[in-house]
Structure 1
Amino acid sequence: MTSTDNIKKSKKGRPQVDTTALTLRLSNELLERLDAHRRTLEDLPNRQEAIRRLLEAELP
């Protein structure tokens, strides 16, 4: 047994959080609009983050 056998390996991927995965299909036109919106933001979020922000801004 080597010394690395006792080391707990970290799991790959995102840590578990209180969320639900969502699969979404968008038309090419809507995706282009989303990408154009992302480019107006200073930190250029990825598509998932841009959608989260838009939802947070629009939902009560």
Structure 2
Amino acid sequence: MSETGKNKGGRPRIDATPITVRVPPGQLDSLDAWIADHPEPKPSRPEAIREAVSEHLKAKGYVK
């Protein structure tokens, strides 16, 4: 089951590299607030983090 309480089911992508990241409480609160503001279906924490990283890299010009 994901952090948001929904079981997305299925196997994770095999062409991705898992990483472990420690997130300070303030950032985690902000992330959870961002998730709560999304309409259903709400993204899981990993989905939200992937989206945030993707948007940041696009904004910095690393991803087109």
- TM-score normalised by the chain length of structure 1: 0.68
Equivalent pairs, count: 48
- Which residue identity lines up with residue 56 of structure 1 in the other structure? S
- Counterparts of 1:1-60 in structure 2, within 5 Å, are 14-15=11-12, 17-42=14-39, 43-59=41-57, 60=63
Identical-pair percentage: 38
Which fold has the larger relative contact order, with Cα–Cα distance below 8 Å and residues 6 or more apart in sequence? 2
Task: Say which structure is richer in helix.
Answer: 1
Q: Mind listing any 5+ residue stretches in structure 2 that lack a counterpart?
A: 1-9, 58-62
Within 2, Cα distance between the matches of 1:15 and 1:37? 23
Within 2, Cα distance between the matches of 1:38 and 1:29? 14
Greater CA radius of gyration, 1 or 2? 1
Q: Mind listing any 5+ residue stretches in structure 1 that lack a counterpart?
A: 1-12
- Over the aligned positions, Cα root-mean-square deviation in angstroms equals 1.6
